[in-house]
Amino acid sequence: MPVAEALARVLADAKPLASENVPLKQATGRVLTQDITALRTQPPLNVSAMDGYAVRGADVAEAPVTLTLIGEVAAGHPFEGTVGTGEAARIFTGGVMPAGADTVIIQEVTSRHGDKVVIAKSAAVGRNVRQQGIDFAEGSVLLRRGQRLTDRDVMLAASMNHPVLPVHRRPRVAVLGTGDELVAPGTTPSEGQIVYSNGFALMAMAEGEGAEVLDLRIVPDRLPDIARAVRGARQWGADILATTGGASVGEHDLVQKALKEEGLALDFWRVALRPGRPMMHGRLGAMQVLGLPGNPVSAYVCAFLFLVPLIRRLAGRADAERVPEPARLGCLLKANDERQDYVRATLVQTPDGPVATPLPDQDSSLMAPLAAADCLLIRPPNAPAADPGSPCVILKLAL
């Protein structure tokens, strides 16, 4: 199955998850489920933009001029009196403009002598005053349904007087590693064993996309153990179960068999991509299942191409599918076969644009080159050989 068709089938039934109200401090990165309307006007009244003196503009049209001080205004402490002709009130940034005053003279052009203040420089009417509603007015829609919230959006929502926001629920992703050969990091592998690494990449990737993650750890190649872990994912309420290892059909590849015994409706198995051909997708009730290969690079690339877009779609994001970016080749590439190839490459910015250079070893078991890569260079099926400088397309690995 071509990669594009496989991704379309993975996303076909993926609808954004239900709405929930979350506190502001939990809202960054989440997607709004409804428009957000300002509950107040900002600023609610005319306020001073500077430290200085609130005056009548007519009194300071010419300078120097001496005014009489009648009070003081600090932020949160309005002045109850009225500024009349020849009068001024000491005011600080954020202070509400007192009645009668329409201009603020900054303190740097003044000198004070008891209850008198000398204004050394004239100012236009309205100078240094933030007018009521200059930022936004009550009732204005400032944040839209479907918008993914940035830190700036959360700041805005707080100023609009919203303590909580309605957003799509975070996807829940359960991660399961299978294989008798796997041992946890920090242990000493016996002969023939390897240290489990795939699941940590998948969990980091999912958490980086805002998902909740359940670590089902490692289970051996035994049907009852795999089935028990799958049931644990369902009981937890996982929206996605991502397995790694055992995805093929060898005698010890039992993941697909265990899932089918639990009721898996298999959608597809095997995709025309490299690395990662033996990838599986299906549904187990409400839970989507992605069976990823055991080779670490294959598992990572498949998760990057399929798991991340699925999480984003469930989270309500509009950018579930990333758009490849143009670049140029940094070296010769041989002709490709019938699979779509995702070549690990470094990326260098040049005056003529980005240059992607494939790493010398593309074996799907090698994690050091994967960690050194900046992007995946996409080679279409049956692509001819390409010379250095030829145009190509890439997916940047930084999410």
pLDDT over threshold 80, residue 5:
yes
Residues 139 and 126 in one domain: no
Q: What is the mean pLDDT of the chain?
A: 96
Last residue of a domain, one of 74, 104, 130: 130
Tokens representing 9?
């089938």
Task: Write the CATH number for 365.
Answer: 2.40.340.10
Dist CA 238 CA 174 (whole Å): 6
pLDDT over threshold 80, residue 204:
yes
Task: Write the CATH number for 61.
Answer: 2.170.190.11
Banded pLDDT at 246 (limits 50, 70, 90): confident
Residues 290 and 193 in one domain: yes
Tokens representing 168?
């799509």
Q: Measuring CA to CA, how many Å separate 369 from each of 355, 362, 366, 375, 393?
A: 17, 8, 6, 11, 19
Give the model's pLDDT for residue 144: 98
Residues 220 and 281 in one domain: yes
Q: Look at residue 320 and tell me if it is in a domain.
A: no
Q: Look at residue 319 and tell me if it is in a domain.
A: no
Query: Average pLDDT for residues 171-180, to the nearest whole number?
Result: 96
Residues 310 and 335 in one domain: no
Q: What is the pTM of this model?
A: 0.91
Burial class (CB in 10 A: 0-12, 13-18, 19+), 359: middle
* DSSP secondary structure code for residue 303 in this structure: I
Tokens representing 10?
């993975």
Q: Which domain holds residue 108?
A: 47-130
What are the two backbone dihedrals, phi and then psi, of residue 348, each rounded to the nearest 5 degrees? -125, 130
3-state DSSP call for residue 160? coil
Under 8 Å between Cβ of 322 and 209: no
Q: Look at residue 265 and tell me if it is in a domain.
A: yes
Q: How many CB atoms lie within 10 A of CB 2?
A: 14
3-state DSSP call for residue 1? coil
Q: Look at residue 71 and tell me if it is in a domain.
A: yes
Query: Average pLDDT for residues 377-393, to the nearest whole number?
Result: 97
Give the model's pLDDT for residue 377: 98
Residues 62 and 154 in one domain: no
Query: Average pLDDT for residues 353-370, to the nearest whole number?
Result: 96
Q: Which of 10, 16, 77 is nearest to 47 (CA)?
A: 77
Residues 264 and 125 in one domain: no
Report how many domains make up the chain: 4
Beta bridge partners of 356: 329, 347
Q: Are strands 129-130 and 141-143 parallel, antiparallel or unpaired?
A: unpaired
Q: Look at residue 275 and tell me if it is in a domain.
A: yes
Dist CA 16 CA 210 (whole Å): 14
What are the two backbone dihedrals, phi and then psi, of residue 241, each rounded to the nearest 5 degrees? -110, 120
Rg, Å, the chain Cα set: 31
Q: Look at residue 73 and tell me if it is in a domain.
A: yes
pLDDT over threshold 80, residue 171:
yes
In the numeric block, the tokens 């979350």 are attached to 22
Range in 108-122, 234-248, 250-264, 349-363 the model is least confident about: 250-264
What are the two backbone dihedrals, phi and then psi, of residue 286, each rounded to the nearest 5 degrees? -85, -5
Query: Average pLDDT for residues 194-213, to the nearest whole number?
Result: 97
Give the model's pLDDT for residue 250: 59
Last residue of a domain, one of 147, 168, 189: 168
pLDDT over threshold 90, residue 317:
yes
Higher pLDDT, 246 or 52: 52
Under 8 Å between Cβ of 204 and 211: no
Give the model's pLDDT for residue 399: 62
For the chain, how many residues are written? 399
Residues 156 and 36 in one domain: yes
Q: Look at residue 181 and tell me if it is in a domain.
A: yes
Residues 117 and 241 in one domain: no
Residues 109 and 56 in one domain: yes
H helices of 110-181, in order, are 151-159
Q: What is the pLDDT of residues 337-355, one digit of tens each?
A: 999 999 999 999 999 999 9
Beta bridge partners of 96: 47
Give the model's pLDDT for residue 251: 61
What are the two backbone dihedrals, phi and then psi, of residue 291, each rounded to the nearest 5 degrees? -95, 105
Q: Look at residue 365 and tell me if it is in a domain.
A: yes
Residues 119 and 100 in one domain: yes
Give the model's pLDDT for residue 249: 60
Under 8 Å between Cβ of 340 and 272: yes
Residues 199 and 220 in one domain: yes
**pLDDT exceeding 70 applies to what percent of the chain?**
98
pLDDT over threshold 90, residue 164:
yes
3-state DSSP call for residue 283? strand
Task: Write the CATH number for 190.
Answer: 3.40.980.10
Give the model's pLDDT for residue 398: 82
Residues 29 and 51 in one domain: no
pLDDT over threshold 90, residue 271:
yes
